[in-house]
Chains A and B, each alone.
Chain A
Amino acid sequence: MTTVPDTDVGRYLTADDRKTLLRFITCGSVDDGKSTLIGRLLYESKLIYDDQLTALEEDSRRVGTQGGALDFALLVDGLAAEREQGITIDVAYRFFTTERRKFIVADTPGHEQYTRNMVTGASTADAAVILIDARKGVLTQTRRHTFVVSLLGIKHIALAVNKLDLVGYRREVFDRIAAEYRQFAAALGLTAIQAIPLSALLGDNVLGPSENTPWYDGPSLAQYLETVEVDAGAAGGPFRLPVQTVIRPDLDFRGYAGLVAGGTVRPGDEVRVLPSGASARVARIVTGDGDLPSAEAGQSVALTLDREIDVSRGDLITAGAQPAGVADQFEARLVWMHEDPLLPGRPYLVKLGSVTATCTVTHLKYGLNVNTLERTPAATLAVNEIAVANIAVDKRLPFDPYQANRDTGGFVLIDRLTNATVGAGLIEFALRRSDNIHRQALDVTKEARAAIKGHRPAVVWFTGLSGAGKSTIANALERELHALGCHTVLLDGDNVRHGLNRDLGFTDADRVENIRRVAEVARLMVDAGLIVLVSFISPFRAERSSARALVGENEFTEVYVQTPLEVAEQRDPKGLYRKARAGQLPHFTGIDSPYEPPEAPEVRIDTGIVSVPQAVARIVAQLRATGIVP
């Protein structure tokens, strides 16, 4: 708290407004004293109000870990669930101001969700405070935290060697830890490191120098945070404006609005709009406060251009002479953030800047062990794991490498069904293939091919447990359609696994690839004008929905062959359930691998009450209703 007389408020605010901002992240594991350190920083900067202090005193007595003395960790551990468990669950953001600077602290937990939360907190941070318990030294988690910090592009690190009071403030302990850490960090290319001897609990070297460490002449933690130089980053790079929305109050005005993500722009500048590549000059920089003579990174503006070109949400307006790249295949580093693992081949949504598209991970090149930095083989990616991967997107995206610009090089992956944010990606570079594979336009179209068949092309997709009766019904349906003069083909799971997919097993990742290939084959055959019957267990909704997305509207009929697991297991026509129960057949759907029933199939066949001829009649009726069969 300051003592500013009312007459000086204006002057105080002006000075306050000119302070620079430092965003930093604190990393440490459960017992390193991280929350205590932040609580102490807030307390010492006089940012704790009396009523909060009263609540803190009460809480310290009730649930504190300091024997009734002030437990600063309770100031920051916000959620009730956290207090009960004595851990920090999530990322929390705190604000404090000193005479020289403003700060936003991302406080992230050190336990098992570490990577996900740390990546989130680090994505906007300029610097990191990495806590080490002086009694324990550089641990596996220290390496892990440092790796994640370097991955996200943070270059400035304060190594807070905490709890030095518990090792008698001995200099050799501090020196040994600092030296070991520097050596490790150098391997990651991190050199801007300030090691600080600390006791967060007692306040040594938190705000000012401590009498207990006369041998240390470096800055206190607060001094370091107040003075560390923040890089200009993308602000010094070429102009970038991801277009969020087009403002059109009337027919004469089109403002392309967004937050400048790099460089500066002035009226008259030549700009290039990506991915189209169209060029124009900036006419005006419009804001709610009137037109500006220039705009820099970090400002929200609306640009008008000197000529009419097509610009919409998701486009990137760039400096004319230094445009961003445009590609639909990338190599990227991926951080997985969800309990359901990443499956190569499964479609996800990618959001990069203001553009959203569909993508698949085409190849997991290798995993990165966050503890040892070693490369590991990776078939899938579990929560908190990191990998280098190739990604294919369904449209061309403007981008910069993440190292050049966080906002135009960092993306998130979103699950198409649950809408959860499941992963984060950092673009390394575009894969050149995307320039070389062009789609060939064909003269004879799907419609033309279908016209000589007398029916419309379509996919009839049977899904259900093994032994549910899919193949039996599909076979009977094909006989019926053939008799009606329709040109059909039947893709059966077992048969395709003997040929096209014989290299695939039954892990979740292989099941996804199995369905992806069959869906692509079905699409080609629909292009050829056929009615394609697909009979696969196809246990996952995501793959069925992507198979649906491959063909046109009304060209996909999902048939859910519904049989209770007990009944299918009793039938067991191929003896597979018996083997699975005996443990001889791992990853068997329904036993130790999940089946996700369709939420809204076009046809639902309950084999307990519907006979095979009845099932066929129902499906044919559905195909007639949608105009596929005349």
Chain B
Amino acid sequence: MLTHLQRLEAESIHIIREAVAESERPVLLYSVGKDSAVLLHLALKAFHPAKPPFPLLHVDTTWKFRAMYALRDTVAGRYGVDLIVYQNPECIERGINPFTHGSALHTGLWKTEGLKQALDQYGFDLAFGGARRDEEKSRAKERVFSIRSAQHRWDPKAQRPELWHVYNARTRPGESIRVFPLSNWTELDVWHYIRREQIPVVPLYFAAERPVVERDGALIMVDDDRMPLEKGEVPQLRKVRFRTLGCYPLTGAVESSADTLDAVIGELLRSTTSERQGRVVDHDSSASMEKKKQEGYF
């Protein structure tokens, strides 16, 4: 009998192969986080002994953790895949950042707009993402193959029924498809798989002494000197780690002593808060993710 991870892995590989067979120009959205790492690992397995027939795309905001850039820059060489880094030129020109422009505008322009621009510029008609249904309530209802209009909008009421292992990946000109091979994985599954397959992840997931300041109840790591400190604010060295990774000024750390994979998983098993709690960007309203997705956020 197959184990749980074997079943999940096989299902994801099937989804990846099906998506590639049914699209003209697929791309894998690589965010450097743990889910992206698993997704890339599965893509390598899906086409073994050939290379995955699509590039990776990193929609960069220039505000990610330095450790994320360090890992990202080793990926292309390590796996022999193409990596495209895209930065929204308008954001560069206007110097969009979370401190002066706020988290909503920052995320909207760098990530949502940047993603749309990159997909349009390269003509990608299908994009793999690492989203999982257990992350968030509106994700629980999204299909594995999720269609986007020419304006990259998601219409939750016009989703295609998905039966058995049959996926309808057909698009009209201008439309594109987002494909989520990890739909049925949980956070624990992801960590278990990383452990079993020894997949390299950003060290920020493991506890270490890091300089942080406390803002609005979140521990924000001072990752570089671009972060303006408020009056009297002094970064403190605390032993912290991250459950999710994004732009460092928008990602809250948790105090933790879990500095190994097993300790991280042990902590997860004992955890009483959900994964997305550390994301400042989700907190605006309980329907905020659904709203962002309709606007084209991944």
Contact = CB atoms under 8 A, between A and B. Distances in A.
A123 B269 contact: no
B269 to A, nearest CB: 5
Interface residues of A, number: 85
A104 B140 CA distance: 11
B45 interface: yes
Contacts of A7: 262
A12 B269 contact: yes
Contacts of B138: 78-80
Nearest to A78: B137
B295 interface: no
A90 B10 contact: no
Contact of A354 (B9, B21, B48, B186): B21
A440 to B, nearest CB: 34
Contact of B287 (A76, A80, A296): A80
B272 A50 contact: yes
B213 interface: no
B164 interface: yes
Contacts of A9: 262-263, 265-266, 269
A436 interface: no
B286 A10 contact: no
B164 A245 contact: no
Interface in A269-324: 286-289, 296, 298-300, 302, 313
Interface in B1-49: 1-7, 9-11, 13-14, 17-18, 20-21, 44-49
A78 B269 contact: no
Contacts of B17: 244-245, 257-258, 300
Interface in A191-248: 244-245, 247-248
A613 B101 CA distance: 65
A95 B10 contact: no
Contact of A95 (B184, B263, B266): B184
Interface stretch (A171-179, A405-413, A452-460, A463-471): A405-413
Most-contacted residue by chain A among B18, B44, B140, B192 (CB, 10 A) = B140
A43 interface: no
Given A10-B262, A19-B4, A249-B50, A120 B192 contact: no
Given A2-B269, A17-B5, A79-B290, A420 B160 contact: yes
Interface centre among B13, B17, B47, B164, by most chain A C-beta atoms within 10 angstroms, is B164
A248 B140 CA distance: 36
A123 B164 contact: yes
Interface stretch (A51-59, A140-148, A476-484, A582-590): A51-59
- Which 10 residue pairs are nearest across A and B when measured between Cβ atoms? A288-B45, A78-B137, A80-B287, A249-B50, A300-B13, A123-B163, A419-B170, A6-B266, A259-B14, A49-B274
21 contacts: A4-B266, A6-B266, A10-B262, A19-B4, A20-B1, A51-B273, A55-B286, A76-B140, A80-B290, A89-B141, A89-B156, A244-B21, A249-B49, A287-B48, A298-B6, A299-B2, A300-B17, A302-B48, A407-B165, A411-B166, A419-B170
Contacts of B265: 9, 13
Contacts of B134: 95
A544 interface: no
User: Which of B133, B161, B195, B273 has most A Cβ within 10 Å?
Assistant: B161
Contact of B269 (A1, A89, A352): A1
Contacts of A288: 44-46, 48
Contacts of A595: none
